[in-house]
């Protein structure tokens, strides 16, 4: 049996090698290589690149919704939702992005597929031999998504993943089939947000940005978008939960959870309250789950908006590691106010260290905003670039102390 098997193996290998030289195939098993986009490409609008954050004023960049906490609830009847949709859909766009994706493919043959039958020992040997070679290959495709107008001059907010790797972007307004080419103003992969711009030659209808912190669990919301290519679709649901950490975000961003249907193509569309105000950006669904969708809170979007407008999304580094303060820790420290973040570690030679921050300090405010939750603290950090001065109040040994420091560029070995 031994003398018979060895010549047979040699013959089969010679046959397969000759077949490989005559015909090569690409294995269907590929995986996408996700790399940051090159911001020097023509698809990027660089008009604001020369500006600094100090030059930028966002006061009139978007429409601010009414902030009266005591305003009357929206009365519900059979036309209440229809009235909201009729007004808001003029500010929603469908986005079609032509993409080029680099993938790693296995180039060669699958020897066992050429055998008429699977032969023990021989088939196992062929699985070990390197008949396929990994190569990179570019593939073209189309990404479907949604967005909404935040400025009458044509600025549109959407998800970063909708236009990632795009070489061309077309936006379709709700009033017709005409497509408008768009350019990228800024893209932020950390928060999955992007700002693009079109020149429609006419004033557009921007949607007002509301307040996501004031949302209540169980509140009725509407999702508008382009699910599965079905243009200008509306779905309704509830705020199922707040401050969720999605598996897709790696803990960087908290989400609104909703049972309003969010399908592929809805990403980037607005999540509205019944006043017609945007309270979130629809961004993700959990596969195999029913009625579990996520939206980026609009208050997080507001923090990141200056970075998107300038196309500069690098975060600053302060060098202090902080965690939420528990109720028992607050009682032990005799903290006179609610909330705060306790500092666990300060990196040597960091801005925090130079500012005089110490371990066990309790951060109670950042740039004048009281820190009563970890969500607010993390959100403030998301919008701070290198070079920005951050002013904090810390509680130490029974006193409130003011400290300030200038953020630096993120260091790989630094404490977050």
pLDDT tens sequence across 69-111: 678 888 989 999 999 999 999 999 999 999 876 666 665 555 5
When pLDDT is averaged across residues 65-72 and rounded to a whole number, the result is 78
Three-class SS of residue 360? Answer: coil
What would the CATH number be for the domain defined by 220-310? 2.40.10.10
Q: Is the pLDDT of residue 257 over 60?
A: yes
Q: Is the pLDDT of residue 18 over 80?
A: no
pTM value is 0.80
Query: Which stretch, 41-50, 128-137, 347-356, has highest mean pLDDT?
Result: 347-356
Residue with tokens 């607005």: 270
Query: Are residues 182 and 170 in contact, defined by beta-carbon separation less than 8 angstroms?
Result: yes
CA dist., res. 292 & res. 285, Å (int): 6
Q: Is the pLDDT of residue 3 over 90?
A: no
- Would you call 161 a catalytic residue per the annotation? yes
Cβ of 386: how many Cβ atoms within 10 Å?
16
The angle, 0 to 180 degrees and rounded to 10, between the axes of the packed helices 374-382 and 298-310 is 10
What average pLDDT does the chain have? 82
Query: Are residues 169 and 43 in contact, defined by beta-carbon separation less than 8 angstroms?
Result: yes
- Domain 316-409 class in CATH: mainly beta
Share of the chain above pLDDT 70, in %: 79
Q: What is the pLDDT of residue 240?
A: 95
Task: Say which of 161, 212, 240, 246 is annotated catalytic.
Answer: 161
Task: Say which of 212, 267, 350, 365 is annotated catalytic.
Answer: 267
Q: What is the pLDDT of residue 69?
A: 67
Which has more pLDDT, 160 or 176? 160
Listed residue (339, 343, 324, 329) closest to 370, CA to CA: 339
Q: Is the pLDDT of residue 286 over 80?
A: no
Query: Are residues 340 and 330 in contact, defined by beta-carbon separation less than 8 angstroms?
Result: yes
Q: Is the pLDDT of residue 306 over 70?
A: yes
- Would you call 267 a catalytic residue per the annotation? yes
Listed residue (291, 274, 272, 273) closest to 282, CA to CA: 272
Task: Say which of 143, 146, 188, 192 is annotated catalytic.
Answer: 192
The domain ranges of the chain are: 220-310, 316-409
pLDDT tens sequence across 222-249: 999 988 888 889 999 999 999 887 655 5
Mean pLDDT check: name the lowest of 45-49, 62-66, 242-246.
Answer: 242-246
Residue with tokens 């940051």: 36
């Amino acid at each position: 049996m031994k003398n018979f098997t060895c010549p047979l193996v040699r013959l089969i290998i010679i046959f397969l090698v000759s077949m490989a030289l005559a015909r090569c195939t690409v294995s269907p098993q590929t995986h996408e290589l996700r790399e940051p986009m090159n911001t020097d490409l023509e698809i990027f609008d660089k008009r604001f690149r020369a500006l600094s954050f100090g030059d930028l004023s966002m006061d009139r960049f978007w429409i601010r919704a009414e902030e009266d906490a005591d305003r009357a609830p929206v009365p519900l009847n059979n036309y209440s939702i229809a009235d909201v949709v009729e007004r808001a859909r003029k500010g929603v766009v469908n986005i079609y992005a032509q993409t080029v994706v680099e993938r790693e493919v296995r180039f060669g043959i699958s020897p066992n597929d050429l055998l008429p039958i699977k032969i023990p020992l021989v088939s196992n040997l062929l699985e070990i031999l390197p008949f396929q070679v990994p190569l990179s290959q570019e593939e073209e495709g189309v990404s479907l998504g949604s967005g909404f107008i935040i400025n009458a001059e044509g600025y549109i907010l959407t998800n970063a993943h909708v236009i990632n790797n795009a070489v061309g972007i077309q936006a379709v307004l709700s009033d017709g089939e005409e497509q408008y080419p768009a350019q990228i103003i800024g893209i932020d992969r950390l928060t999955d947000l992007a700002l693009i711009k079109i020149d429609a030659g006419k004033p557009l209808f921007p949607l007002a940005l509301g307040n996501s912190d004031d949302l209540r669990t169980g509140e009725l919301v509407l999702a508008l978008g382009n699910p599965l290519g079905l243009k200008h679709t509306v779905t309704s649901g509830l705020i199922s939960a707040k401050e969720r950490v999605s598996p897709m975000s790696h803990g960087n961003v908290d989400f609104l959870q909703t049972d309003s249907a969010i399908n592929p193509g809805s990403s980037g569309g607005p999540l509205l309250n019944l006043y017609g105000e945007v309270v979130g950006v629809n961004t993700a669904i959990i596969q195999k789950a029913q009625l579990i969708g996520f939206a980026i809170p609009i208050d997080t979007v507001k923090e990141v908006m200056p970075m998107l407008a300038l196309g500069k999304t690098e975060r600053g580094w302060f060098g202090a590691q902080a965690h939420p303060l528990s109720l028992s820790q607050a009682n032990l420290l005799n903290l006179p106010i609610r909330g705060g973040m306790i500092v666990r570690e300060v990196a040597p030679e960091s801005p925090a260290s130079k500012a005089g921050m110490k371990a066990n300090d309790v951060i109670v405010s950042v740039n004048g905003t009281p820190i009563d939750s970890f969500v607010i603290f993390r959100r403030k950090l998301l919008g701070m670039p290198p070079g920005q001065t951050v002013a904090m109040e810390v509680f130490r040994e029974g006193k409130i102390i003011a400290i300030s420091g200038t953020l630096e560029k993120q260091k790989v070995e630094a404490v977050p």
